[in-house]
A = this chain, B = another copy of it.
Amino acid sequence: MRLNEQVVQLAPPDDARLRFIGRIRTPWPDRAACPRQGSPDGPECRLELDPCWHAALAGLAAYPAIEVLYWLDRSRRDLVVQCPASDGRGFGTFALRSPVRPNPIGTALVRLVGIAGGVVTVRGLDCVDGTPLLDLKPDRALFTPKAPPKAAP
């Protein structure tokens, strides 16, 4: 254990269960090769959706920026305080965007390049090739709910 790390010991998690909807293809074979943060000018990456979800992409092409959620399947989940810079400084897990967290869900805001045949091509990711895909949705800053507004309470 690194100096100033703090670990929690808990039973295996099972409060809810996820379904992977596809895989993310990136140029980076492992975590060491990944950039620390994605860039809108980064390389093209592919979100390859399982066929049963292809129809769920209808309408997404209207959004130049989309939010992507993915599962960081190689991450430890038991660190409460961690030392990302290996210099002895400890940070609370929730004060970091490290992949090491109790629910290792990555969120990225990416530029949409194109959608074809159930594959969404984007720029701005920083995850390992083969990362499981959980969700994609329009950037909140661009999205307007389709249902009419509710009356004020």
Contacts and interface: CB of A to CB of B under 8 A. Distances in A.
Interface of A: 6, 8, 10, 12-21, 33, 35-37, 52-53, 55-60, 62-63, 67, 69, 71, 73, 77, 80-81, 84-86, 89-97, 101-103, 105, 107, 109, 132, 134-138, 140, 143, 145-150, 153
A33 to B, nearest CB: 7
A86 B53 contact: no
A17 to B, nearest CB: 5
A143 B148 CA distance: 35
Q: How many copies does the complex hold?
A: 2
Contacts of A12: 17
Contact of A150 (B36, B63, B147, B150): B36
A135 B59 contact: no
Given A18-B17, A19-B13, A19-B102, A80 B97 contact: no
A93 to B, nearest CB: 4
A55 B61 CA distance: 42
B69 A37 contact: no
